[in-house]
Structure 1
């Protein structure tokens, strides 16, 4: 693992596939121009709309998104994390799928979101992700990269389940991805504190691309894509507008924190 810049993209994705992909490409371009070698896209980056509409368009969304990721990674010679998009299953539902793609357009890792967001919030909004999404059956694996370190995948609602990240840290994770479309209502109270907790308890960097603003109807997301170091320090925060957070992953900082706070070595259970 060597030092490198990572970018966490922030978008206001809409129920418009082509528009979203064009915006993602523009933001990837800007991040690469800033020196980013690893660029991370949020959950639902290629399509964010009503669940039945997403289900109806899922075959096209999946096909166009995977094609976009591979060609864009090759064009910009960058490693891409796709934070979550629908991939059809034989059941008629979709997997909420995260992909890690290398600069040659090759798939490095694939994760199907295991924790589904079925919640009735006090603000009156109800979310039933399981209505259209099938839960993944396997915990994410860690991709071991000689240059970029050991990369652990997750998606959005997973951040509330610390056992998933302990699973990743036990596989040697050094950088944890938490691409999200966090609701505005919960995000204001929970987003930052949960990300910091996952970084601190696993002494890992956390890279959290995000959705922000109004996407359709009453669907508002919190924003604040951010990158956090293993001590829980926020290195960059994208605020509440489309753009990106960018920061350096430093192996010496990771080693320093793990020496100062060797909690991973003190695990009992």
Structure 2
């Protein structure tokens, strides 16, 4: 099976309606180039550091402009439309960092709430506490589409290889990693992590990213990528501004990678024991 996939790179601002217009323009561009699956980045609908300001404009899923626009685009263009994620208001006062996959009829085929929260302290005083505003998900998802078995993750999830391995063992042939990586972490780890997840599981990785300096002052790394099961970067975008990248996904490459290095079948259960080191004067050395 072969299909054409697109990753849409954005520089989302603080206004969901304006971001919806940008999303629609870029998705139409991707579809015009033959893409039948189109992925947008994490937080397609809004990047807003001010949590009070964010909550003031966010809506529940039924009233969200990104959800509505993506559904309409999928039906209009006859594509599988994947909103990498957007912030959705929840009843408990928190938000969900939620991805959506729409079928060619515009109906929701899958929802995925980001599992791993980005709670980190970086160099130069950069600090993030995603868990303070967002409720983490608890369910991994592999969706059977007519043309592929697809696994779902979001951004920081890429640092947790067990999530990818579980989905690969469940049959995922393509893993999706929409993201809004910071420039600092992206420069250090973005490509390495994506290629590692592709190689160790023998799957394609499609990663649409946010890119550039945003209205709220943050800077994201960009470099959206599509990577094959051997870890080769098939196509990538730059580090700033909007872009649409496309690649043919030939699922025969997944089987070929698994045949060459069948680590999914060769994995074994094991126990682990921590052995204390040499003891000097009653204290472990």
Pairwise TM-score range, normalised by the shorter structure: over 0.9
**Is 1:52 aligned with 2:65?**
no
Contact 1:7 1:39 in 2 (8 A): yes
- Aligned 8 A contact 2:40 2:178 in 1: yes
Contact 1:37–1:79 under 8 Å retained in 2: yes
Deviation (angstroms), 1:188: 0.4
Name 1:186's counterpart in structure 2. 185
CA distance in 2, matches of 1:174, 1:134: 28
Q: Based on CA coordinates, which of the two structures has the bigger radius of gyration?
A: 2
Match of 1:69 in 2: 70
Please say if residues 87 and 97 of structure 1, whose CA atoms lie closer than 8 Å, have aligned partners that are also in contact. yes
Secondary structure at the counterpart of residue 151 of structure 1: strand
Contact kept? 1:203, 1:231, Cα under 8 Å: yes
Looking at structure 1, the residues matched to 58 and 82 of structure 2 have their Cα atoms a distance apart, in angstroms, of 19
Aligned equivalent of 2:155? 156
- Aligned 8 A contact 2:60 2:90 in 1: no
Q: Is the 8 A contact 1:123 1:185 kept in 2?
A: no
Deviation at 1:22, TM superposition (A): 0.8
Deviation at 1:94, TM superposition (A): 0.9
Q: Secondary structure at the match of 2:124?
A: coil
Aligned pairs, number:
266
- Judged with a 3 Å threshold, the aligned counterparts in structure 2 of structure 1 residues 217 and 108 are, in CA distance, closer, same or farther, namely closer
Paired position in structure 1 for 2:141:
141
More displaced, 129-138 or 207-216?
A: 129-138
Match of 1:121 in 2: 122
Instruction: Please report how far the alpha carbon of residue 128 of structure 1 lies from its aligned counterpart in structure 2 after TM superposition.
Output: 1.3
Q: List alignment gaps of at least 5 residues for structure 2.
A: 270-285
Contact 1:12 1:242 in 2 (8 A): yes
Q: Is the 8 A contact 2:9 2:41 kept in 1?
A: yes
**Which residue of structure 2 aligns with residue 206 of structure 1?**
205
Distance 1:22 1:60 in 2: 19
Query: TM-score, with normalisation over the residues of structure 2?
Result: 0.90
Partner SS for 2:123: coil
Q: Distance in 2 between matches of 1:124 and 1:238?
A: 28
Q: Extract unaligned runs of 5+ from structure 1.
A: none
Offset of 1:60 from its aligned partner? 6.6
Matching residue of 1:244: 244
Mapped to 2, the partners of 1:265 and 1:77 lie a distance apart of: 37
Deviation track 1:82-136 (CA, whole Å, cap 9, x = no partner) reads 1111122221001110111101011111111111111111022211111210111
Partners of 1:130 and 1:78 lie apart in 2 by 33
Deviates more, 1:76-85 or 1:210-219: 210-219
Instruction: Look up the match of 2:10.
Output: 11
Distance in 2 (CA, whole Å) between partners of 1:214 and 1:34 is 27
Question: Offset of 1:63 from its aligned partner?
Answer: 1.7
Q: What's the secondary structure of 2:193's corresponding residue?
A: helix
Q: Matched residues in 2 for 1:250 and 1:124: separation? A: 43
Tell me the TM-score normalized by structure 1: 0.96
Q: Distance in 2 between matches of 1:159 and 1:191?
A: 9
Deviations 1:155-214 (A, max 9, x none): 000000011111111210000000000000000010000000100111000000000001
Task: State the superposition RMSD in angstroms.
Answer: 1.3
Cα drift, residue 253 of structure 1 = 1.6
Secondary structure of 1:4's match? Answer: strand
